[in-house]
Amino acid sequence: MIYASGDLARGLTEPDHPIRIPFQHAILMGVAASRNAVHDLLGLSPVAYAQPFYATRVDLGSYGAVFTNVWNRQIGKTRAEGTAMKALINMQCIYPPSPSQGRAQICSTILGGR
């Protein structure tokens, strides 16, 4: 079995939205791919990939940034608020789990509480 995320992956997510740009899907795709790889090793059934949240962020230099959410890209935050949201995503949300969490907690997260 092959599991992929990011630039290597292609497919549809619910409700039938194509996977376009890796950033928007990377976190949940990585979780789904790693969970299903572990499930495969343990003989468990795979879990379907779902993308309930979609957002884009664009840094506009001195203007700040624009952050959009939902599939129709409604503008959620601009200028300084957009920059703050972009920083939050870059510095906290997209990093891998901290080793200080310990193996049991990281594995529990990957397995979805199993």
Sheet arrangement for strand 65-69: 55-59, 65-69, 74-77
| In the predicted structure, residue 44 carries a pLDDT above the cut 90 | yes
Indicate the domain borders of the chain.
1-51, 54-114
Mean pLDDT of 28-38: 84
| In the predicted structure, residue 53 carries a pLDDT above the cut 60 | yes
What per-residue confidence (pLDDT) applies to 110?
Answer: 56
**Nearest-angstrom CA–CA distance, 110 and 84:** 28
Q: What is the pTM of this model?
A: 0.51
Mean pLDDT of 32-48: 89
What per-residue confidence (pLDDT) applies to 114?
Answer: 44
Mean pLDDT of 79-97: 79
Q: Which comes out higher in pLDDT, residue 42 or 113? A: 42
